[in-house]
């Protein structure tokens, strides 16, 4: 009896976390679209909460009842989201695909919560909400970046992410003293320090230039 109660409690917990993840994202989406007129907002706090809750229910149905029923429900949810997005893109203010992508992400987070990964679901919801709330900052950053900045970031990403996974991990050489992955970590560390120095110097240079320009304008 205790085991059954414990299992039911875990189900309630996962569904509650799925709902909470959707509500967290929905709060940000609702606040961002608060100035839009009624009917223009495709989804708000309640809708995102329900999307995540549906994801959690679909995951539980897949585990407990039938994969076929879960697949049908999941297809229906994705279909409804797609139809809503198709209708929204005809609105002059609704051409952004962000809401559609966020809706799919919310559904996936609900699926994770219902699949015994509630911590991952909440962490994902927090990350998504953080990225969405930084819209102005990210767009401002993109406007300030130049071609040199993009090239530097791409090179560092290639060094840090594209090469490392393909290097062999076993030790070799005399006394097994060499390991290509560990050696490449040193390369990444040195390159990362150089990249950080570039970013810091660029920000300092901008501040100094702004200060000089401001002083020059004041003298004029």
The 10s digit of each residue's pLDDT in 13-72 is 889 999 999 999 988 887 877 666 555 555 678 889 999 999 999 999 998 888 898 999
Domains of the chain: total: 2
For 178, phi then psi, to 5°, come to -115, 140
**Interval 112-136 mean pLDDT:** 89
pLDDT at 207 (0 to 100) = 46
Residues 152 and 62 in one domain: no
Which of 110, 135, 160 corresponds to the end of one domain? 135
Same domain, 210 and 150: yes
- State whether 99 and 28 are in the same domain: yes
- 99 and 194 inside one domain: no
User: What per-residue confidence (pLDDT) applies to 65?
Assistant: 85
- Same domain for 111 and 153, yes or no, is no
Tell me which residue of 92, 105, 78, 84 sits closest to 21, measured CA to CA.
105
pLDDT for position 93: 54
- The angle, 0 to 180 degrees and rounded to 10, between the axes of the packed helices 98-114 and 118-133 is 160
The SS3 call for residue 95 is coil
Residues 46 and 15 in one domain: yes
Q: Is 33 exposed, middle or buried (0-12, 13-18, 19+ CB in 10 A)?
A: middle
Query: For 63-102, what is each residue's pLDDT tens digit?
Result: 888 889 899 999 998 988 888 777 766 665 555 678 888 8
Residue 57 — φ and ψ, nearest 5°?
-65, -40
* Final residue belonging to a domain, choices 135, 162, 197: 135
**Which of 71, 106, 135 delimits the end of a domain?**
135
Using CA atoms, how far apart are residues 14 and 192, in angstroms rounded to an integer? Answer: 39
What whole-number distance in Å separates Cα of residue 71 and Cα of residue 64? Answer: 13
The residue with greater pLDDT, 69 or 175, is 69
Range of the domain at 116: 2-135
- For residues 108 and 171, state if they share a domain: no
Average pLDDT over residues 197-203: 71
Task: State whether 29 and 102 are in the same domain.
Answer: yes
**Owner of token pair 């993109």:** 142
- Looking at 116-120, 136-140, 203-207, which range is the least confident one? 203-207
C-alpha count within 13 angstroms, C-beta hemisphere, residue 185:
6
């Amino acid at each position: 009896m205790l085991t059954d109660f414990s299992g039911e409690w875990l189900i309630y917990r996962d569904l509650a976390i799925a709902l909470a993840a959707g509500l967290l994202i929905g709060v940000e989406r609702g606040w961002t679209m608060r100035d839009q007129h009624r009917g223009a907002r495709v989804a708000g706090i309640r809708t995102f909460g329900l999307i995540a809750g549906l994801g959690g229910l679909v995951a539980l149905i897949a585990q407990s009842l039938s994969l076929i029923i879960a697949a049908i429900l999941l297809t229906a949810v994705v279909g409804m989201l797609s139809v809503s997005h198709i209708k929204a893109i005809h609105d002059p203010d609704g051409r952004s695909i962000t809401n559609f992508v966020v809706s799919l992400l919310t559904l996936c987070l609900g699926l994770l919560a219902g699949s015994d990964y509630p911590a991952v679901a909440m962490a994902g919801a927090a990350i998504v909400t953080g990225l969405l709330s930084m819209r102005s900052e990210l767009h401002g950053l993109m406007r300030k970046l130049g071609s040199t900045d993009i090239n530097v970031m791409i090179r560092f990403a290639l060094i840090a992410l594209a090469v490392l996974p393909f290097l062999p991990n076993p030790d070799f050489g005399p006394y097994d003293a060499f390991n290509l992955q560990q050696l490449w970590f040193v390369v990444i560390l040195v390159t990362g320090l150089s990249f950080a120095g570039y970013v810091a110097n660029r920000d300092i240079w901008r501040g100094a230039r702004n200060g000089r320009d401001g002083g020059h304008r004041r003298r004029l």
